[in-house]
Amino acid sequence: MKIEIKKSSKLVNYTYAIKFLEERVDDVINEKKPELLWILQHKAVFTAGTSYKKHEILNKSIEIIKTSRGGKITYHGPGQIIVYFVLNLNKRKKDIRNLIRNIEKCIILTLKEFNIKSHYDKKNIGIWVNHKKEVKKVAAIGIRVKKWIAFHGFAINISNNIDVYKKIVPCGLYNKKITNLKSIKKRSYKNIDKLLIKNFLSIFK
């Protein structure tokens, strides 16, 4: 199956990106356009998934954009790579748990290429690392499925500002910390987008 690859070099507005994704979902349902894999970075924004609670906003002055993905509140901004997709599960396996496991596999394989060992957690969705004797979250996953078309995607923290997460309860997790790849290992992650595309396509071919 053909998957269109889209890469944005400039920061992308969140609401624009979601509108684009939702339009592509309809086009895939109507067989007008192919599936999509879109690599980008967002302008700074806090977003709230369908299961968020108001008390998870710790700093009441921040603006929150409600979104159709599953999950709680998170932050997107420069230094964080976003991988959006539109995948037709009608032509694959109609199994959301399997989809999430494959997304986790894609992230873990990619980080392994930078000699960073990471893992998934059955209780807490996302990708985790053992860093400075603590388990910390380095990647978040949030999806929605419409007529077995899966969309939204995942975010990997590379060099983004971690302090902003203090304004929220990230992903609804009170006792878990967030980190980024630069904190774990100071090196260049310039080609991470190419590795993500390679691993994603090998898994979802």
Cite the active site residues: 171
**DSSP 8-state assignment for residue 55:** G
First-to-final CA distance of the chain:
7
Instruction: Provide long-range contacts, Cβ within 8 A and 24+ apart, for 198-205.
Output: 199/106, 199/109, 199/110, 200/37, 200/83, 200/85, 200/106, 201/3, 201/37, 203/102, 203/105, 203/106, 204/3, 204/85, 204/87, 204/92, 204/102, 205/1
- Residues 127, 111: contact at Cβ < 8 Å? yes
Kindly give the interhelix angle for 192-203 and 96-112, rounded to the nearest 10 degrees. Answer: 140
Tokens 């009170």 sit at which residue? 174
> What SS3 state is found at 23?
helix
